[in-house]
Amino acid sequence: MSLKVPKSSNLPIFKDGYKHLQGLDEAVLRNIQAVNELSDLVRTSFGPNGRNKLLINHLGRLFVTSDAATIIREIEVVHPAAKLLVMASQSQEAEMGDATNMVLILGGELLKKAENLLIMGLHPSEIIKGYELASIKAQGELEKLSTFSLPSPLTQTSLASALKPAIASKQYGYEDTLATLVAEAALSIMPSNPKNFNVDNVRVVKIMGGSLSGSKVVQGMVFGREPEGTVKKVSRGKVAVFTTALDIAQTETKGTVLIKNADEMLNFTTGEEKQLEKIFKEIADSGIKVIIAGSSVGELAMHYLNRFDIAVVKVLSKFELRRLCRVVNATPLARVGAPTPEEAGFVDVFETTEIGGDRVTVLRQLLPDEPGFNPTSQNEKTRTATIVLRGATSNHLDDLERAIDDGVNVIKSLMKDPRLVPGAGASELELAKRVDVYGSGLRGLSQHAVKKFSNALEVIPRTLAENALGGAEGNEVISRLWAKHEQKGGETWGVDIEEETDGTLQADQHKIYDSLAAKTWAIRLATEAANSVLSVDSIIMSKPAGGPKIPQQAGNWDNDD
């Protein structure tokens, strides 16, 4: 009896139009290639000497930045594997606000190294196991590298020196000025328990013109516009916040009015005027001296507000309005009318000042050293500081704002975990050395993945060196660094981007420190993203929705005719 050979059957599993890619070549290596392209895109923007990217998003808005979080937010990544890495980077942005580029570069490099192992025949599960072991080891060793912590009574100098490396990676050359501004703003609003530090209490207002040296910190909230009415200054006044338009209410339906004589014509709008006057008189009688309008202010309403000596400022951003309500401790009202005592807020000083030729409105609570300060009326949550940024172009101001945002987020993470590790790529190179030693002592196939993980960690100092000194010179610097890390006590040697001697420097001597928490999260998220991509073995794509792609033939093509 002959053996029955089963015929290969092409049984349809999916609907027409579905794509099913599986296997090493079609799925895994293709995903790795997509992630590598994304990683290489942002790699040149890493570090103080990182190049800027010029992006024009789908709305036509222009961005010139080296901030990885902004780059990946504005380019619309559609490849599902690359999206996994983007999500990991966004988690880093949400958790730490810094080191987003490190997640992308390290994740991409881990997959690049895994590609070699896959081609050699190693199974993805062995690589995933090795990467997880190496990640745990790296995170453990990173804690041992922490030699320095933020001193306990915070001073402006110590805080500024901890911020400088993070800000220098975005705005190299301006880090001293920006770090001082951020440290001053953060310390002025620091709560008694620093762990409750809120990044939302440090605001940025951009005023075009001048240069960065003209920037300053203003206690309170600053709005880049003048008050609407004639009242420009108020001291110790109640505040009402309205989200609705301050104007005569419009009727929902159209109506026709028949006017028979001249008296009716003259008195036609009197009723509305009296009604509006009554509303604003009630507001004035309740002790309100300042009104914040979240929408338009009518001319007639403005007339009565000026008559009752009430200052009005328009704040059209709902985020600013929400923040302002927290500062003055008020409730936003959707109706026009006198607020109850609980709904009304309070501000010590409402004034209009001039910054570089632009008139701005400042709302602030008094500082402890100012006359009239009342500690009982001050609430820690209401403290706000605004950094007024000056610059020549709006793109430059946007980029400075992103650097400040990074700096403020670094403070937040340092308040939770004050430990710092040597920067300039020194920690990553030391981790690479220690993980490599750990891999040599392992048994089984996963040791190959651990060794590749240690090779991948080298990408951080290598990228710093290549972006600053060029490819060939960068390789020489990495060789010198390896030699110095092999010596006893060489853990703090990193890349000298200014190349004053041989391209290497001791990070602790130059006070180049990075947040331990940010690095730990970056290593963890990069490993998770790489492992997620490696664990995928097939891609199933449904048919894209939409009509026929072929243009219809001209003429009588409709069958029903």
Interval 474-493 mean pLDDT? 76
Ranking 285-299, 390-404, 407-421, 544-558 by mean pLDDT, the lowest is 544-558
Residues 256 and 363 in one domain: yes
Q: Alpha carbon of 338 to those of 287, 342, 432: distances in Å?
A: 9, 11, 66
CATH of the domain at 290: 3.50.7.10
Rounded distance between C-alpha atoms, residue 223 and residue 351, angstroms:
11
Residues 182 and 85 in one domain: no
Query: Is pLDDT of 183 > 80?
Result: yes
Residue 540 burial (CB count, 10 A) = 12
Query: Is pLDDT of 524 > 80?
Result: yes
Rounded distance between C-alpha atoms, residue 227 and residue 211, angstroms:
26
Query: Is pLDDT of 96 > 50?
Result: yes
Residue 5 pLDDT class (50, 70, 90 cuts) = low
Give the chain's mean pLDDT: 77
Question: Which pLDDT score is estimated for 425?
Answer: 78
Q: Alpha carbon of 432 to those of 370, 422, 435, 451: distances in Å?
A: 54, 14, 5, 9
Residue 2 lies in a domain: no
Give the tens place of pLDDT for each residue, 305-315.
777 777 888 87
Give the tens place of pLDDT for each residue, 18-68.
666 666 666 777 788 888 888 888 888 887 777 888 888 778 888 887 777
Residues 280 and 337 in one domain: yes
Residues 74 and 209 in one domain: no
Domain boundary among 376, 399, 434: 376
Residue 334 burial (CB count, 10 A) = 8
Question: Which pLDDT score is estimated for 561?
Answer: 47
Nearest C-alpha neighbor of 28 from the set 116, 102, 129: 116
Note whether 444 and 432 are within 8 A (CB). no
Residue 431 pLDDT class (50, 70, 90 cuts) = confident
Query: Is pLDDT of 409 > 70?
Result: yes
Q: What are 418's two structure tokens?
A: 């004050």
Residue 501 pLDDT class (50, 70, 90 cuts) = low
Residues 161 and 243 in one domain: no
Interval 172-189 mean pLDDT? 82
Question: Domain range for residue 209?
Answer: 153-215+382-417
Rounded distance between C-alpha atoms, residue 523 and residue 78, angstroms:
24
Question: Which pLDDT score is estimated for 554?
Answer: 55
Note whether 5 and 31 are within 8 A (CB). no
Residues 111 and 179 in one domain: no
Interval 429-439 mean pLDDT? 83
Interval 269-298 mean pLDDT? 77
Owner of token pair 């000042």: 353
Residues 386 and 478 in one domain: no
Q: What are 88's two structure tokens?
A: 């990991």
Rounded distance between C-alpha atoms, residue 431 and residue 449, angstroms:
15
Query: Is pLDDT of 180 > 50?
Result: yes
Residue 208 lies in a domain: yes
Query: Is pLDDT of 553 > 60?
Result: no
Residue 392 lies in a domain: yes
Give the tens place of pLDDT for each residue, 464-473.
887 777 666 7
Ranking 18-27, 411-420, 422-431, 441-450 by mean pLDDT, the lowest is 18-27
Residue 485 lies in a domain: yes
Residues 56 and 181 in one domain: no
CATH of the domain at 432: 1.10.560.10
Residues 211 and 224 in one domain: no
Residues 365 and 234 in one domain: yes
Decide: helix, strand or coil at residue 221. Answer: strand
Residues 470 and 393 in one domain: no
Residue 551 lies in a domain: no
* Total structural domains within the chain: 3
Rounded distance between C-alpha atoms, residue 290 and residue 299, angstroms:
17
Residue 53 burial (CB count, 10 A) = 19
Rounded distance between C-alpha atoms, residue 103 and residue 450, angstroms:
18
Residue 78 pLDDT class (50, 70, 90 cuts) = confident
Angle between helices 426-440 and 471-486 (to 10 degrees): 60
Q: What percent of the chain has pLDDT over 70?
A: 83
Interval 339-367 mean pLDDT? 76
Strand partners, 292: 241, 313
Nearest C-alpha neighbor of 449 from the set 140, 162, 116: 116
Decide: helix, strand or coil at residue 362. Answer: strand
Residue 288 burial (CB count, 10 A) = 22
Q: Alpha carbon of 251 to those of 143, 268, 269, 333: distances in Å?
A: 67, 15, 14, 21
Interval 534-561 mean pLDDT? 61
Instruction: Give the residue, 550 or 166, on which the prediction is more confident.
Output: 166
Ranking 168-172, 200-204, 264-268, 528-532 by mean pLDDT, the lowest is 264-268
Q: What are 509's two structure tokens?
A: 């001597």
